[in-house]
Amino acid sequence: MKVNHLSKEGFQKLKDELRTLKTEGRRQVASDIEEARSKGDLSENAEYDAAKEAQGLLEKKIAELEHALANARVIDERNIDASKVYVLSTVSILNKKSNKKNTYTLVSPQEADFNTGRISVDSPIGKGLLGKEVGDVVTVKVPAGMLELEILSIERNN
């Protein structure tokens, strides 16, 4: 069983999403199925098939969220060593090849959002940075090739 490390905010966001899917989501799917059922013969009713498929996808998402929450551990950032990269560290790195600086916050896969600079600890860059210190240079294999990244700074969001 893999432990899912989450921030307090990330844990609450998943709980809220689960509650919404179980209430509003299920209510909407049931309504869609009922409406499609009222249109007659179910054997040739594409609307009914689509509504049943949507129901299956919703239940799958609910099960995934329940699993993620059951295996979640909320991280108390005050107890983590700020000299090394861990979950919820904000890391400034220098791409040695392009000479570009980037800043990322390492988060659980459920909280990852590349557009806001939140990358998963399970991503190639996240895995490469975990446990490293300022000044370390890591080589990371990404789909575009190999990256050589130097850790410039590590911050904790306390």
DSSP 84: B
Which sign does the torsion angle of CA 149, 152, 157, 158 carry? positive
Residue 107 · residue 87 · CB < 8 Å: yes
Domain match, 133 and 151 both = yes
What is residue 83's DSSP assignment? T
Among residues 35, 133, 149, 132, which one has the least CA distance to residue 97? Answer: 149
How many domains does the chain contain in total? Answer: 2
Give the residue from 83, 115, 87 showing the smallest Cα distance to 102. 115
- Which tokens sit at 78? 């005050």
- 60 and 88 in a single domain? The answer is no
| Residue 151 sits in the same domain as residue 85 | yes
Query: How far apart are alpha carbons 83 and 65 in whole angstroms?
Result: 32
Asked which of 74, 96, 130 is the last residue of a domain, the reply is 74
What's the mean per-residue pLDDT of the chain? 87
Least confident span in 95-99, 107-111, 132-136, 150-154? 107-111
Residues 95 and 141 in one domain: yes
Q: What is the pTM of this model?
A: 0.62
CATH number of the structural domain spanning residue 46:
1.10.287.180
- Residues near 7 by beta carbon (within 8 Å), at least 6 away in sequence: 74, 75, 77, 88, 107, 111
Q: Which of 37, 53, 74 is the last residue of a domain?
A: 74
Q: Which residues are bridge partners to 105 per DSSP?
A: 90, 118
What is the per-residue pLDDT across 66-114, written as a single tens digit (0 to 9) for each?
988 888 888 766 666 678 888 888 999 999 989 999 999 998 888 888 8
* pLDDT exceeds cutoff 60 at 28: yes
Find the domain containing 17 and state its range. Answer: 4-74
Whether 60 and 118 map to the same domain: the answer is no
What does the DSSP assignment read for 16-29? HHHHHIIIIIHHHH
* Predicted confidence band of residue 22 (pLDDT cuts 50, 70, 90): very high
Q: Give the single-character DSSP code of 127.
A: H
Domain termination site, one of 41, 74, 107: 74
Considering the domain architecture, whether residues 141 and 88 belong to the same structural domain is answered as yes
Question: Is there a single domain that holds both residue 82 and residue 140?
Answer: yes
More confident residue, 112 or 26: 26
Residues in the chain, total: 158
Do both 68 and 127 map to the same domain? no
52 and 35 within one domain: yes
Is the backbone of residue 117 left (phi > 0), alpha (psi -120 to 50) or beta? left
Answer yes or no: do 81 and 151 share one domain: yes
CATH number of the structural domain spanning residue 124: 3.10.50.30
* Tokens, residue 85: 């990269």
**142, β-bridge pairs:** 145
Do 143 and 81 belong to one domain? yes
